[in-house]
Structure 1
Amino acid sequence: MTDAHAAPGGPIKLVALGDSLTAGYRLPADAAFPTVLERLLKAKGADVSVANAGVSGDTATGGLDRVDWSVPDGTAGVILELGANDMLRGTDPKVTEGALSSIIERLKARGIPVLLAGMQAAPNLGPDYKARFDAIYPALAKRYDLTLYPFFLDGIIGDRGQHLDDGLHPNRQGVETIAARIAPTVEAFLDRIRQQPVR
């Protein structure tokens, strides 16, 4: 299988743009989400590289501020994982949605497709906030016709054995679970990239 979007003899280049969940907070580099995902995809035969553009503590607005230089020319697709810190700070969901929308539009203008990794609000923020926040990701995916992975932390929530001692961030096993669960969606995203006309 040849990939028109790969450089001659090179892989399809993805960038994971996110916060500490992408960056690999308190984990060695080989245990961070982008590295683990790349390993899993390669094991399934995909010729792909996944760059780590995660910054711990980043909000959606922070991601917007750095999207142009965090996603270099030659990037074939972006896995966008932002919003958890907005939720933890109780940021107005309209602000989060607006920043994510602007990131998507910036990337779209460059011909770079986006896989949107969803986040969900904690129940203790109240039902109104949770409903408004949780609706951000499906709405953006529909508006921009994006590949959507509904909940980035699917499979580890409530499982202390897959978290660091802070109870918020995944440990090495947690990252393995996240990457394994999202991998089929990323594979579908790669297929979508391959079907796009080369610019």
Structure 2
Amino acid sequence: MIDVSLSSSKRYNVAVIMLSTLLMLTISGCQKAPDADSVTDDTVITTQTTPASPAQNEQQVNQSVNSQVLTILALGDSLTEGLGVANDDNYPAQLEARLQEMGYNNVKVVNSGLSGETSSGLVNRLDWVTQTKPDITILTIGANDAIRGIDVAIVEANIRTAVKHLQDNGSEVILGGMQIYDNLGSDYVQSFAAMYPKIAKEMNVTLIPFFLDGVGGDPKLNQADAIHPTSEGYTIIVNDNILPILQPEVEQMLVAKTNKTSLPAPVVTN
């Protein structure tokens, strides 16, 4: 009887253990996976992201660059104003249209040319024109001074004053070089032509060697006065004389603006 009682007791204990194990497995299988709200600080969640391709990165940079607003001031005399041609045919208007065709959607070219303007007159209106806060200024002045035979030293001093004023107001200057006819004497003509590269070198400004290159003196590209370009003449000036000099400046300026706006906010520490 004793042996039978012990045997029954063992069988009972085994059954209890098996039942408890089955119950624990069932409860464990019914539990839900933890959601985001229940994740503790000790839980590590791994996410996978697809890195942008080089082409996508370049596209994003280009879009950011082209979204920047850039103001170009066209400053000068009747050659800038566009005397004798329609408003859409002067060089500032054609330049803005051409830049936008090239993808510079937010570049604005302000026409601040004034017929009959001399270098002295231009200096007197610098405070007014710089209210446009130009990023880049294309300065083309001196032709009317030469027509009047004004001393080259005076013209040079005025141009230097204009360049410094523009630079002090945060504008990059592109200086348009000019050449004149020989009727004023070879000494004057040579001194006048040499003035522009001299100023550009000493004042660290970009130079268009001859603003009217390929147009000046060509009857087909100038109006009846043989001085002012036609619409077709201005197209050549924009495409061949201005843009090759201007575009690198525009690119550099837009990248600088983009980098400036994308800089992280400064960290303030107590």
Q: Larger Rg: 1 or 2?
A: 2
Match of 2:79 among 2, 16, 21: 21
Higher helix share: 2
Give me the TM-score of the superposition, normalised by structure 1: 0.91
Moved over 4 A (4+): 195-199
| Contact 1:115 1:189 (C-alpha < 8 Å) held by counterparts | no
Q: Once the two structures are superposed, what CA deviation does each residue of 1:24-61 show, in whole Å capped at 9, x if it has no partner?
A: 10111101110001111222222311100000000111
Mapped contact 1:59–1:83 kept (Cα < 8 A): yes
Q: Which residue of the partner structure matches residue 244 of structure 2?
A: 184
**Aligned runs of 1:138-157 on 2, under 5 Å?**
138-157=197-216
**Comparing 54-63 with 67-76, which one deviates more in the overlay?**
67-76
- 8 Å CA contact 2:130, 2:169 repeated in 1: no
What pairs with 1:28-177 in structure 2 (closer than 5 Å)?
Answer: 28-47=86-105, 48-177=107-236
Inter-CA distance 192–124: structure 2 relative to 1 (3 Å threshold) = farther
Identical amino acids, percent of aligned pairs = 36
**Larger RCO (alpha carbons 8 Å, 6+ apart):** 1
Q: Which runs of 5+ in 1 are unaligned?
A: none
Q: Which moved more, 1:130-139 or 1:40-49?
A: 40-49
Deviations 1:74-131 (A, max 9, x none): 3211000101111111111111110000011111111211010110121222110011
* Displacement of 1:10: 5.2
Q: Residue type matched to 2:237 in 1? A: I
Kindly tell me the number of residue pairs found equivalent between the two proteins.
195
Which letter does structure 1 place at the counterpart of 2:200?
A
Q: Quote the Cα distance in structure 2 between the aligned partners of 1:194 and 1:138.
A: 26
Change (3 A) 1:19 1:176: same
> Unmatched 5+ residue regions in structure 2?
1-61, 262-270
Letter paired with 2:225 = D
Task: Judge conservation of contact 1:113–1:193 (CA < 8 Å) in 2.
Answer: no
Tell me the C-alpha RMSD between the 2 structures. Answer: 1.8
2:20 paired residue number: none
Structure 2 CA distance for aligned equivalents of residues 121 and 196 of structure 1: 37
